[in-house]
Structure 1
Amino acid sequence: MDFEEVFNKERVTRKFTNRRVNEKLIAKIVEKAQQSPSLLNSQPWRAYTLMGEPLEELKKASKENIEAGVKANEDFASMLSLNWDTFPSQNMATMGASQTYFFRNKLNLFTKANNEMFNAPAIVFLTIPKTSPAWSVFDLGIFAQSIMLLAIDNGLSIMPAHSLVSYPDLVRKYARIPEGEMVGMAIGLGYPDKSAEVNDLKYVPDRVPFEKIYKLTK
């Protein structure tokens, strides 16, 4: 697939079909993503894919936590400051307001899909060591982006979601992740359910004006 086409197709899928994803294809994608650059070639990332019964057990346990009102306790929350600067805070406020307007009374569709982990038949959980510096978070982001672009190039749809790592202890349990690793991000992989109304809600937030983020000095 042409790179421009792959890049432009990078949009989330909010509900997947039950169609199984070839595990060898996922391994191929992650292996290729290993070519991503990292600080001093540290390659701090690890990838754990959950499918089948272990994934269904995680989905069930996670949903039980949500319904019981268990507060999310993401691993990265203990590592990074959550006090956002004014500039990104304004962008997030705009996103929240426009998203609520866009979804209107259909926000419940997204909430339901979110609580069910988007029915993803495969989820790749990405980790870095707990002793990592902030640079490793940057490296993990590059690795994640590589996985997503490669997945799209191989005919898969994606869903990177903060909510998928809300309960890292559960993720560690079912994905058999060592205690010494932080669960940073997760990417749902699969094929879009074209009959799902939640996938018809096409929302593409506006981008900050280019001149606000780019400066040239020469």
Structure 2
Amino acid sequence: MDFEDVFNQERVTRKFTNRKVNEKLLATIVRKAQQSPSLLNSQPWRAYVATGESLESLKKESKTQIEAGVKPHEDFASMLSLDWGTFPSQNMATMGASQTYFFRNKLNLFTKSNKTMFNAPAVIFLTIPKKSPAWSVFDLGIFAQSIMLIAIDQGLSIMPAHSMVSYPDLVRKYVHIPNDEMVGMAIALGYKDRGAEVNDPKYYPDRVPFEKIFKLTK
């Protein structure tokens, strides 16, 4: 696929079909993503792919905790700040308003889909060692972006979502991740359910005006 086509198709999928993803394809995607650059070639990432019964068990227990009102406790929570600067705060406020408009008749559909990890047949959980510098988070982001673009090039749809790592203890339990690794993020992979209303193709969040983020110094 042409790179521009791949890049332009990088949109989240809020509900997948039940069609399984070939295990060899999943391995190929991660193997190719290993070419991603990292600080001093540290390659701090690990990729754990959950499918089948393990994933279904994780989905079930995660949904139970969500519905019981158990507060999320992501591994990256301590690395995040809620004290955002003015610029990102304004952007998020705009995003929130547009989501409210888009989901005015679909919020229940999205909530239901979110509780089931978007019905994804495969989820890749990405980790870095707990003893990692903050820079490793940047490297993990590069690795994740590589995975998503390669997956799209292979005909798959994607959904990166922090909600899937809200309960890292459950992820470790069912995906067999060691305690010395931080569960950073998750990417759901599969085939888009084009008949699902929550996958409305007309909704694309606006981007910040280019002149607000681009500065050229000579």
C-alpha separation in 2, matches of 1:92 and 1:131: 31
C-alpha separation in 1, matches of 2:194 and 2:79: 38
Name the counterpart of 2:10: 10
Gaps of 5+ in 1: none
C-alpha separation in 1, matches of 2:105 and 2:192: 22
Tell me the C-alpha RMSD between the 2 structures.
0.9
Name the counterpart of 1:34: 34
Does 2:135 correspond to 1:135?
A: yes
Return the TM-score normalized by structure 1: 0.98
Name the counterpart of 1:165: 165
Name the counterpart of 2:145: 145
Percent identity between the two aligned chains = 83
Name the counterpart of 2:60: 60
C-alpha separation in 2, matches of 1:169 and 1:84: 28
TM alignment of 1:87-98, pairs within 5 A = 87-98=87-98
Name the counterpart of 2:113: 113
* Aligned residues of 1:103 and 1:201 also touching (Cα < 8 A): no
Query: What SS is found at the alignment partner of 1:170?
Result: helix
TM superposition shift of 1:214: 0.7
Gaps of 5+ in 2: none
C-alpha separation in 1, matches of 2:16 and 2:102: 21
* Aligned residues of 1:156 and 1:190 also touching (Cα < 8 A): yes
**Number of corresponding residues:** 218
Name the counterpart of 2:190: 190
Name the counterpart of 1:156: 156
TM superposition shift of 1:105: 2.5
Describe the superposition over 1:24-63 as per-residue Cα deviations: whole angstroms up to 9, x where unpaired: 1010010100000000101000000000000000000000
TM superposition shift of 1:201: 5.5
